[in-house]
Chains A and B, each alone.
Chain A
Amino acid sequence: KQEVTQIPAALSVPEGENLVLNCSFTDSAIYNLQWFRQDPGKGLTSLLLIQSSQREQTSGRLNASLDKSSGRSTLYIAASQPGDSATYLCAVRPALGNQFYFGTGTSLTVIP
């Protein structure tokens, strides 16, 4: 079974700082990896999806990278803003099967 880990569980940074969130997975045979944002009491909003054949994806101030061989993905947020405060989750879809496996998330607080 795929295990997905996100460290740290919580992160607090001052506004304007660049930051990196980590996601690691135990089985490198993946189909794709997706990063989400979740605001308190809300559903999940998709941020970036990386297919297994890709190394990175970018959207605005966000950049996600994927290194399958080491079982790692990072989400880079440039010039953080208070509005970026949320929980960030990664989800991995294995190469076989239809399930997605989620990490427990990193709770980000950006201090004005």
Chain B
Amino acid sequence: NAGVTQTPKFRVLKTGQSMTLLCAQDMNHEYMYWYRQDPGMGLRLIHYSVGEGTTAKGEVPDGYNVSRLKKQNFLLGLESAAPSQTSVYFCASSYEVGTLIYEQYFGPGTRLTVT
């Protein structure tokens, strides 16, 4: 049981390049999330998904796209990277039982630098 994994762990991009970050979870969770963490600003939600085939915008969605084609995977895409997207990206997943939504489990993060 690997929990939540993220690929890659580190990446350096040039402005204008594109890339995809992969998040995978093996806990059969319905909910998945992408956050970015910046110094002094805490974690901010980029996009999230409440189930396979669904996605929704979070607090800071501009410049990012996501897809959830399979329940276990949640992809975050940057179509044209900008220096403002330099950050640490975290993926998380959680599950719901009845009306109770349980805790989030986080991946180890991807450190992205855009030059």
Whether A98 pairs with B41 at a CB distance below 8 angstroms is no
B2 within 8 A of A: no
Task: List residues of chain A with CB within 8 A of the CB of B108.
Answer: 42-43
Pick from B42-50, B65-73, B75-83 the stretch touching chain A.
B42-50
Whether B103 pairs with A98 at a CB distance below 8 angstroms is no
For window 1-27 of A, CB contacts with B under 8 Å fall at 4
**How far, in whole Å, are A35 and B78 apart by their CA atoms in the complex?**
30
**How far, in whole Å, are A62 and B102 apart by their CA atoms in the complex?**
19
Q: How far is the CB of A73 from chain B (nearest CB, A)?
A: 15
**How far, in whole Å, are A51 and B100 apart by their CA atoms in the complex?**
8
Interface SS of chain A: strand
Could you say which interface size class chain B belongs to?
20 to 34
Residue from the list B31, B59, B90, B101 in contact with A43, Cβ < 8 A: B90
Interface size on A, residues (CB 8 A): 22
**How far, in whole Å, are A100 and B32 apart by their CA atoms in the complex?**
12
Task: List residues of chain A with CB within 8 A of the CB of B48.
Answer: 98-99
Residue from the list B41, B102, B107 in contact with A104, Cβ < 8 A: B41
Known A43-B108, A44-B106, A104-B40; contact A93-B101, beta-carbon cutoff 8 A? yes
Per-position 1/0 for A28-58, Cβ under 8 A of B:
0001101010000011111001010000000
Whether B59 pairs with A99 at a CB distance below 8 angstroms is yes
Task: List residues of chain B with CB within 8 A of the CB of A45.
Answer: 106
B74 within 8 A of A: no
**How far, in whole Å, are A104 and B44 apart by their CA atoms in the complex?**
10
**How far, in whole Å, are A100 and B75 apart by their CA atoms in the complex?**
19
Whether A34 pairs with B106 at a CB distance below 8 angstroms is no
Interface residues of A (CB under 8 A from B): 4, 31-32, 34, 36, 42-46, 49, 51, 89, 91, 93, 98-100, 102-105
- 18 residue pairs of the A-B complex, CB under 8 angstroms, read A34-B103, A34-B104, A36-B106, A42-B108, A43-B108, A44-B92, A44-B104, A46-B104, A46-B105, A89-B42, A91-B43, A91-B104, A98-B31, A99-B45, A100-B33, A102-B44, A103-B42, A104-B40
